[in-house]
Structure 1
Amino acid sequence: MTNILTEEQIDEIEQETLENLEVSYHTKGFDKIEKLRNSLHDTYYQVVELRPGLSLEIIDDNYYKQVSYTVDHYNFYALTAKFYLAGNHRVICPGLKRDKENYRETVGNNYLFYLPDIEEIEQYFAGDRIYLIRIVLNIDFLRSFINGLEYLPKQLQPLLESDSPPLFHRPVGKITLAMQTALQQIVNVPYQGMIQRMYLEGKVLELLALQFAQLLEAEGDKQPLINLKAGDIEKIYQVKDILTKNYDHPPSLIDLAKKVGINDNKLKYGFREVFGTTVFGYLRDYRLEIARKLLQEQKQNVRTVVNLIGYANQSHFAAAFKRKFGITPQDCRLGRKVV
């Protein structure tokens, strides 16, 4: 792992290398919208408190450098739900007695955690886009819906029964089609003003209901994951580094496995467990992110971009680009906003 920075050191780096900062308040239905760019990452952050004890955050970060830093959760007595639309995020969280201290949050999955009064280490990787929706609710807000514990997931019952409930981080499951629909409706709200706030609150409560229902269904029906040792995980990260350095001419799966000394079957399934996608699904997304930057920021023509990122067929590239970003490569080059 790279050197671990404190939050203060991260703030100092961000301030010293700040290239752009735009902050607006009480606009587009959000309490605060922030856009910033520095040497570590660029960020588009939106937050709104929908009612006391219930907040919605939309976070879109693109990282230029690998970075690890501590995050302070002291006095943060709230339940947090996260839904990953893009990216992978590694966390080391000492003090979890029932869960793994070292875990990952990956694209296409949703998570629920209660982690007050701890300090964790978060790790991000160069070239990654972290795009997620986060919902924060305090325990009193949750309690306002509860008439009894019969239909509440067991994981959440101690929050209402105990003054010192156990800490937990729970991967709840895959983002379902119903969740995906609600997430897209949050990102693309069709209303403004008061109606927008009402609409957002309804969709946030819908997401929480879907997540809690998924948690209820999963209880007692856990599927075992492939057994990865620390050395296997390290090799899988080496594969990721090889892919990002050779994205224009990537090795085959078998060659990748040979390079790092791991069984190709373990690599295939282990990579999905660690990063939430296949080896070449990750490569595809990485290539497309580079393509987006070349088109959007450097205004390279489409044929040049296709050659630079290693696509053999321009029409295949265009189709993959539109599936990921919702617009054509040419529209992206001309400045149309990515969906």
Structure 2
Amino acid sequence: MESTYKEKLLYGSKIIVIKREKKLNIYKVEDNTGSGIMTSYNILDGIELVYNDIHMESASIDLNPPEGIFEINHCREGRIECEFKNGEFLYMSKDDFSINRKNGTCHQSYFPLSHYHGISICLEIDKAQKEIDKYLPHSCIDLKKLCNRLCKNSSFMIMKANESIGHIFAELYSVPERIKLEYFKIKILEIVLFLSTIGESKEEKREYYTKRQVEVIKNIQKQIIENIQNRYTLEELSHKHDIALTTMKKCFKGVYGKSIYSYMREYRMKIAAERLISTNDNILIIANFVGYENGSKFASAFKEIVGLSPREFRKNRE
């Protein structure tokens, strides 16, 4: 199915339309790093709810998105990178939610773990305001002022979901099909009402990273996954990439959500699991491939991460 001009503005010119109905559109993006599925529900005029299921490193938006869109995002799993105009970076992870003011500029979304599940609620401010006024006539909610207050001088605000709003978002992930559209209306109104109670001071202090720091950390990640058999010391990586050891450890955890050691251990087990399924290689050969000389140490690490021994894992998949 051919994508519309508006869809290309919002999702990029390479967006693929998988399904189109009156109140439901399903889109796909893909490149050599993986793919992503966006399931979009048209809830009210100017209000959409999108489920994002991403398994790729990045998604480029190569056209100019329209201005005047107020976006609320919630991360259920994974991690997403947020770049600011001043060249600083911030990372959104599990149970975070954010407010994003679209300003008509191109951008690229980067997913450090190649894995992101979450919800986006997109409100075209002028149209959505009329719908809010219909359903909440006495609430005095002004979407434009709300967006400006929460985002302040930037175009972005991020914070950890507390129990109240976390509960609202959690309920959106398991809704019976026959009541979805009406239920979504209630929940979106509830979320907007909740946001109207948040003061500017509620935004959490988070660690920001410079463009150079992020580029260095991504180069380190590239080196260690492309040379999975090698075991680098932190000192070697720090020296090779000309970054202070403490800064490297802090920034790597900031970008990827875990230490270099934990990240590589889990990555090795992920690759090992894939080879256990896709090849008939001896388990020791697979252990060597992912950097383990000792088969028993590999088996122990695999079971700790995956929950099964390599042999049990392969047998179950067969």
TM tier, smaller: 0.5 to 0.7
Q: Provide structure 2 residue ranges, at least 5 long, that are not aligned to the other structure.
A: 1-7
Does 1:79 pair with 2:70?
Answer: yes
SS in 2 for 1:261: coil
What amino acid is aligned across from residue 234 of structure 2 in structure 1? L
| Displacement of 1:301 | 8.5
Moved more, 231-240 or 51-60: 231-240
Q: 2:279, 2:182 → 1: CA distance?
A: 39
- Over 3 Å counting, the alpha-carbon distance change for 1:299 and 1:56 in structure 2 is farther
Q: 1:54, 1:158 → 2: CA distance?
A: 18
What amino acid is aligned across from residue 19 of structure 2 in structure 1? S
How many residue pairs were aligned? 294
| Displacement of 1:262 | 1.9
What amino acid is aligned across from residue 78 of structure 2 in structure 1? A
What amino acid is aligned across from residue 248 of structure 2 in structure 1? L
Moved more, 44-53 or 180-189: 180-189
Does 1:33 pair with 2:43?
Answer: no
Does 1:223 pair with 2:208?
Answer: no
Moved more, 39-48 or 124-133: 124-133
**1:68-107 paired onto structure 2 within 5 Å:** 70-74=62-66, 76-84=67-75, 85-89=77-81, 91=83, 93=85, 100-107=86-93
| Displacement of 1:180 | 5.4
Does 1:112 pair with 2:104?
Answer: no
Alignment counterpart, residue 50 of structure 1, candidates 43, 52, 71: 43
Aligned to 1:262: 243
SS in 2 for 1:235: helix
Q: 2:280, 2:194 → 1: CA distance?
A: 42
- Are the equivalent residues in 2 in contact too, given 1:291–1:305 (CA < 8 A)? no
| Displacement of 1:122 | 1.1
- Over 3 Å counting, the alpha-carbon distance change for 1:40 and 1:238 in structure 2 is closer
Q: Provide structure 1 residue ranges, at least 5 long, that are not aligned to the other structure.
A: 1-6, 16-20, 94-99, 323-327, 335-339
- Over 3 Å counting, the alpha-carbon distance change for 1:126 and 1:166 in structure 2 is closer
Aligned to 1:244: 225
Q: Among all aligned residue pairs of Structure 1 and Structure 2, give the percentage whose two residues are the same amino acid.
A: 15
Moved more, 234-243 or 37-46: 37-46
| Displacement of 1:295 | 6.5
| Displacement of 1:128 | 2.0
- Over 3 Å counting, the alpha-carbon distance change for 1:239 and 1:221 in structure 2 is same
Alignment counterpart, residue 146 of structure 2, candidates 149, 152, 156: 156
| Displacement of 1:260 | 1.6
Alignment counterpart, residue 24 of structure 1, candidates 15, 19, 23: 19
Does 1:317 pair with 2:299?
Answer: no
Q: 1:262, 1:90 → 2: CA distance?
A: 22
- Over 3 Å counting, the alpha-carbon distance change for 1:38 and 1:172 in structure 2 is closer
SS in 2 for 1:58: strand
Task: Determine which structure has more spread, i.e. the larger CA radius of gyration.
Answer: 2
| Displacement of 1:57 | 0.8
Q: Deviations over 1:78-124 (max 9, x none)?
A: 2001223213335465xxxxxx35534433332211123x2223154
Does 1:278 pair with 2:259?
Answer: yes
SS in 2 for 1:122: strand
Query: What is the RMSD of the two structures over their aligned residues, measured on CA atoms?
Result: 4.6
- Are the equivalent residues in 2 in contact too, given 1:92–1:121 (CA < 8 A)? no
| Displacement of 1:31 | 0.7
| Displacement of 1:153 | 11
- Over 3 Å counting, the alpha-carbon distance change for 1:210 and 1:77 in structure 2 is same
SS in 1 for 2:155: strand
- Over 3 Å counting, the alpha-carbon distance change for 1:147 and 1:173 in structure 2 is same
What amino acid is aligned across from residue 24 of structure 2 in structure 1? D
| Displacement of 1:263 | 1.9
| Displacement of 1:332 | 8.5
SS in 2 for 1:156: helix
SS in 2 for 1:268: helix
Q: Deviations over 1:236-286 (max 9, x none)?
A: 222222232234544233332233222221112222334444334443554
TM-score when normalising by structure 2: 0.68
Q: 2:282, 2:188 → 1: CA distance?
A: 38
- Are the equivalent residues in 2 in contact too, given 1:172–1:211 (CA < 8 A)? no
